[in-house]
Amino acid sequence: MYHWSSSVRVDDEFQKLASRINPPRVTIDNAFDDKATLIKVDSANKRGCLLEVVQVLTDLNLQIKRAYISSDGGWFMDVFHVTDEFGNKVYDDNISEKVQQSLGPRGCSFRALERSVGVQSATEHTMIELSGPDRPGLLSEIFAVLADRKCNIVAAEVWTHNSRMASVVYITDEANGLPIDDPDRLNNIKQLLLYVLKGSKEWQSANTAVSVGSTQTQRRLHHIMYADRDYDNLNVSSVTDERIRPLVAVENFVEKGYTVVNMSCPDRPKLLFDTVCTITDMQYVIFHGTINAEGPEAQQEYFIRHTDGYPINSEAERQHVINCLEAAIKRRSSEGIKLELCSDDRVGLLSDCTRIFRENGLSVIRAEVTTRGTQAVNIFYVTDASGNTVKSETIEAVRKEIGLTILHVKEDAYSISPPQQGGGFSLGSIFRSRSEKFLYNLGLLKSCS
């Protein structure tokens, strides 16, 4: 009798053998492109490899200006044209080694996304995940609870989207700087945070789960928000949302058995990571793709199938993919005023600052908290309680209260601006010709005419 589990084991062993015979090859070329560094990756194909490579490049703060992806069969080849965050070529000898390590036997960690427990203690910190309905002042309340429970926040990242909030917070014990591993204390912290997340309603939608494994923070945030269904009931009637809404088209290419996804939106850092991570999370495999982000607009095109080998087979599934990709793009969009807080780190710093934000009517829609030695470097994107731009006099009042020398308004080169109207641009109208041209260039279609 044929057993599916036996087939899986055979496939795994074949992939391991293929990796040993043909280990990943990464080449760096600074001569091919006048403006960018070319990174070419060749490797035996296994699920999750593309995301691993994109994650490494993203973690290195590289800006992906162009990319070409092909992974049909047992091998995949990716070509990336990258710059550093200032638009310069990259001369880091460690890039090749780091990408190769990501494709090694311990590299593909996508399965860790599916595992979660209450609280995890690591060698240097305790990591807590939070999710629930967003509201003005929520972050201040969360930080206040942690400060009251004698927890020092060493790092955190917070996203909000579609009235939902997700965050990953890394804490240590205020007294000794060590991870908190007392089960009773952790349970008490967890219950208090659940009470804060609950607010006045929606107890069932609040959660304090923590991932097991070494999954990257922003990868977890995408997974948390996807699991929390932040893509449901998007408010497309809002004028502000509609003006910055990304364009996503999804159609089946019946002749070759692919679903083709086209996306267009303002470019920003980590955009490619956000879309690839979400497609992988939704259990789809990217077989071919092209990315062009050399101008203010980023264009992405992917040829995908579900992990079962089939393209999208219903209108409901097609709309689900569109909604999820729109959400993935907007979760990290740079809306609001960007504030940077740089000061000597101290216990309660975040609690005090976010309390002042709340008292002045500011709502934090995204936050990045880091500690570098004895220095706290924190980024906040803020709006007023209604989601509108904060008045300059309010920002100055907050700066004076916190400290003019430590809280600064920062310009964000990737802040969202409304797209120009007119021109008749439509992804649907150009979908077929672009898709056929790409397949023709790959040799998968005899003619694109």
How much is the pLDDT for 422?
Answer: 36
Q: Residue 71: what pLDDT? A: 86
d(CA 193, CA 19): 45
Check residue 408 and give its pLDDT: 96
Say what the pTM is. 0.81
| Spatial distance between the Cα atoms of 282 and 313, rounded to a whole number of angstroms | 15
Contacts 24+ apart (CB under 8 A), 309-313: 310/257, 311/252, 311/253, 311/257, 311/258, 311/259, 312/250, 312/252, 312/259
What pLDDT, on the 0 to 100 scale, is given for residue 146? Answer: 95
- Where do the domains of the chain lie, and which CATH numbers do they carry? 4-108 (3.30.70.260), 113-230+334-410 (3.30.70.260), 239-333+423-441 (3.30.70.260)
Contact 166, 219 (CB under 8 A): no
pLDDT of res. 21: 55
End-to-end Cα, the chain, rounded Å:
48
The 8-class DSSP code of residue 2 comes to: -
Q: Would you say the C-alpha torsion 309, 312, 314, 320 has a positive or negative sign?
A: positive
Q: Which residues pair with 27 in a beta bridge?
A: 40
**pLDDT value for 202:** 53
Token reading at 189: 């912290």
Closest by CA to 59, choosing from 189, 253, 215, 248, is 215
Q: Hunting for tokens 């090859």 — which residue is that?
A: 25
DSSP class of residue 103 equals: T
Q: How far is CA 125 from CA 121, 295, 351, in A?
A: 6, 40, 19
pLDDT digits (tens, 9 = 90+) for 179-221: 988 889 998 999 999 989 987 665 556 777 544 345 689 999 9
Residue-level pLDDT at 216: 81
Distance CA 265, CA 300 (A): 9
Longest dimension (CA), the chain: 75
- Round to whole Å and give the CA distance between 248 and 319: 10
CA distances from 243 to 18, 221, 420 (A): 48, 25, 9
Q: Are 48 and 108 in contact (CB under 8 A)?
A: yes
**pLDDT means per 10 residues in the chain (449 residues)?**
46 53 82 93 86 92 95 84 93 83 57 37 78 93 95 94 93 91 90 85 62 68 92 59 76 93 94 96 95 94 95 96 96 89 92 96 95 92 92 96 95 52 39 50 47
State the pLDDT at residue 113.
35
pLDDT of the residue at 170: 92
pLDDT number for residue 215: 63
